[in-house]
Structure 1
Amino acid sequence: MKPIISVEGLGKKYVIRHEGQTHYKSLREEIFQLPKKLFRRQDNKEEFWALKDLNFEVMPGDRIGIVGHNGAGKSTLLKILSRITEPTAGRVHLRGRVASLLEVGTGFHSELTGRENIFLNAAILGMSRFEVNKKFDEIVDFAGVERFLDTPVKRYSSGMYVRLAFAVAASLDPEILIVDEVLAVGDMDFQKKCIRKMEEVSSEKGKTVLLVSHQLHFVNKLCNRAILFGNGCVLAEGSASEITDKYLADRSEQVKKGDIVVRDKDSDFPFLRKVILSASDGTSLTSCTSHTELVLSCKISPGKLPKNKQYQILWFIKNESDDVVTASASETMHDFSVNSSIENVLCIIKLDPLPIGSYYFRIVLHVPGADNFDDVDAVLPFSVIRQAYGSQNLGSSHDYSAKLFLKNQWKIQ
């Protein structure tokens, strides 16, 4: 049996142009500098290989999960397989019709109604009008948008967009179905419906499914094989459970241990010099309960930021699957003067109702209106353990589906 997808020596290169920081210029300044731009050597370019020498095969009926960190090259691969972009090197053999769902609203026109977009999107995917008429009721029923069928889709929520787009793509009856992370937009009931549909397409009709997702329980449930991506290369192939376990293990190794991160660099722009995580009640962070209060301390070096410039700190708590469980942003703060060598910002975080499990932080320092920001990820790991009250156990190690709000309070010292 021939593979339905063959990837041989595949590579994709992008050229990144680095423009220096410039202020907004008047038309007169632009005109006077035009001759310099025309004759200046363009040395401020960098080549970036999003994919490098990929080689793998997919057999008919396989359900392949593609996992990896952000920027690993997963979405670039899917765009090449969907013929949205051309590869720089290598080649791809596709032996069958492809239906892809890569971005919310792809193939939709915002001014057209849901009914009109079904015909438009289906035509883009290669369906005839006869096929659409035959499957129209099935598409509408699956998407659950019958009440809004004659409403312009610009008034649809992102979840309604995805439901309608997936319903059209799945009805194409393709040999290859490619789905990116967009299913995360839908609610849990719709996600389950999509998984059942993809299982049906693969097992009953023998079609091939490629799924990119950071939600590893999707990959384990749906896929029989998985591919681990990293830095544009295939790092490992195997069963879905083997690859997701390896991804989690690699991710755990990347998390910087310890409750203090110290950084020292020469920067004109503000940066996070030190971040410290502690428990306000003195409890060890390796065994804190959901009733523990954490104190996140961020010491900021101002660089050469002008006086009274605004800035903001954001933190994200991620679980072992690299999913963001909860997040918070400080109010925009003022009077960050160059006269102060370091400014210390505290955030007191109440962990209730964070479920039991292992977590870590991502912390971002942002200056509104500026392109630059400082970002530290995979730091300050901590664990929440079960705490019993009588016969009731608080927390669930499997309850990662919903985004949580944790009470928190910001202070400047």
Structure 2
Amino acid sequence: MSTEMAIRAVGLSKSYRIAHRAEPVTRVTEAVAQRLRHPFRRGDYEDFTALSDVSFDIPWGEAVGIVGRNGAGKSTLLKLLTRITAPTAGRIELSGRMGSLLEVGTGFHPELTGRENIFLNGALLGMRRNEIRRRFDEIVDFSGVERFLDTPVKRYSSGMYVRLAFSVAAHLDTELLAIDEVLAVGDAEFQRKSLAKMRDVANDGRTVLYVSHQMQTVESLCTSAIFLQHGTLQLQGGVSDVIERYRGSYEEYAAREAQTRQGLDDDVPRILEVVPTSQTFSVDDDKCVDIRIGPTDDFIGTYFVSAHLTDANGNVVGQCDSRLVGRYLDADREQRLRLSVRNLWMKPGRYSIDVFVCSSGILDSWEGSATFDVLPSLPYPELTSPEATGHGSVLLDFDYEVHR
């Protein structure tokens, strides 16, 4: 492996075996009885491929964004690179120690205090005690959990947990750093500090891998990117090229999903149609979407609907959950709904709609079920340069009053 490369993956694949039972078993006695009755029956298994033949090289000092839709294999790739799980096939070469923050709770023992977990994490990374002690004060100061340092982390809030875990991963002297999108748990100020710290880490010559659905973060943080789709590597290169390819995949996915949904059973209420009342809206228009959901006799009770409006960067601009307005729907008849989003100035661009039918869990989902465009005409009385509206995910209806 070239010393210029921090990470090399060659022919990386990961498959899982999913067991299927013809007769569901809920008790140990039933499982034993079935084995005694059918001692030679072989289990029915299905192979699921999460990653397939993924190869890439990442040089030192790169901050690499890993993007893709849900189920593309992003988190699986990080788990392979951080040796949490082993690949089914292929080879991984790392030129240094890998620090990671993949899920809330990964690498921490809940019964140990924050102080003890800092030293435990360092030891797991192969660091000596004096190395950890040298960075200890920086870790604690950055995390902001000094008051609770001698409290078992099982009593931490999710935000405290993430702050300490990120601080440990970022400050301990590992050459490689892998971070899944867990920073969304932290508050806005901590996210800002974390992104600044990741930039510093990359500028110091360490290599950062960052999984995110937020393209604005990838654009601001990363120097290159990887696009995964259905477990395969579609593109590795410049951030702008990869993000453009990722955005284009939304339309491909929507067309494929619409075709797949035609063969679904009606054992639960199924989303049949999602149609915006217009393909284009002005910034200050009410955005209206018609949703049709089919009936079923196999599901007893009521359900609710949750629709997400997602921008071209993959950010959820807003969630419209029917529970919040007291709308629960009967499953035994077809439902025709009109979602009206009022008083929201959405930025010009293309938006997609994800719709979920839910009860105690998700009964049906249709991501990217429809798209619409918001026209590039601003509702403000004055014209100015683009940086006046460059920040924020939406536009605001505001004014300044001068008091004399």
Closer, same or farther: CA 42–207 of 1 in aligned 2, 3 Å: same
Counterpart Cα distance in 1 of 2:27 and 2:61 = 59
Asked if the contact 1:256–1:380 (Cα under 8 Å) also holds between the matched residues in 2, the reply is no
How far has the Cα of 1:336 moved from its partner? 3.3
Closer, same or farther: CA 320–88 of 1 in aligned 2, 3 Å: same
Asked if the contact 2:296–2:331 (Cα under 8 Å) also holds between the matched residues in 1, the reply is no
Partner of 1:267: 266
Closer, same or farther: CA 176–334 of 1 in aligned 2, 3 Å: closer
SS of the residue aligned with 2:249?
A: helix
How far has the Cα of 1:348 moved from its partner? 3.1
SS of the residue aligned with 2:379?
A: strand
Counterpart Cα distance in 1 of 2:167 and 2:228 = 28
Partner of 2:281: 287
- The one-letter code matched in structure 1 to 2:307 is W
Partner of 1:383: 373
RMSD (CA atoms): 3.1
Asked if the contact 1:290–1:384 (Cα under 8 Å) also holds between the matched residues in 2, the reply is no
| TM-score normalised by the chain length of structure 1 | 0.82
How far has the Cα of 1:27 moved from its partner? 7.4
Partner of 1:312: 304
Asked if the contact 1:356–1:396 (Cα under 8 Å) also holds between the matched residues in 2, the reply is no
* Unmatched tracts of structure 1, length 5 or more: 279-283, 405-413
SS of the residue aligned with 1:133?
A: helix
1:48-84 CA-partner distances (Å, limit 9, x unpaired): 1111112211222222221111111111111111111
Closer, same or farther: CA 28–114 of 1 in aligned 2, 3 Å: closer
* Unmatched tracts of structure 2, length 5 or more: 397-404
Task: Answer yes or no: is 1:336 the counterpart of 2:331.
Answer: yes
Closer, same or farther: CA 315–9 of 1 in aligned 2, 3 Å: same
1:289-335 CA-partner distances (Å, limit 9, x unpaired): 334151x333222233255x222222111111122221122237365
Asked if the contact 1:252–1:320 (Cα under 8 Å) also holds between the matched residues in 2, the reply is no
Partner of 2:136: 136
| TM-score normalised by the chain length of structure 2 | 0.84
Counterpart Cα distance in 1 of 2:148 and 2:140 = 10
Counterpart Cα distance in 1 of 2:280 and 2:330 = 37
Asked if the contact 1:312–1:367 (Cα under 8 Å) also holds between the matched residues in 2, the reply is yes
SS of the residue aligned with 1:344?
A: strand
Task: Answer yes or no: is 1:69 the counterpart of 2:63.
Answer: no
Q: 1:4 aligned to 3, 6, 9, which one? A: 6
Partner of 1:233: 232
SS of the residue aligned with 1:249?
A: helix
The percent of aligned pairs where both chains have the same amino acid is 43
1:149-201 CA-partner distances (Å, limit 9, x unpaired): 23332332322211111111122211111111112322333223222222222
Partner of 1:145: 145
Closer, same or farther: CA 27–230 of 1 in aligned 2, 3 Å: closer
Count of residues in correspondence between the two structures: 384
Matches within 5 A, 1:127-206: 127-204=127-204, 206=205
How far has the Cα of 1:239 moved from its partner? 1.3
Q: 1:299 aligned to 273, 278, 292, which one? A: 292
Closer, same or farther: CA 265–176 of 1 in aligned 2, 3 Å: closer
Counterpart Cα distance in 1 of 2:123 and 2:261 = 56
Counterpart Cα distance in 1 of 2:340 and 2:247 = 29
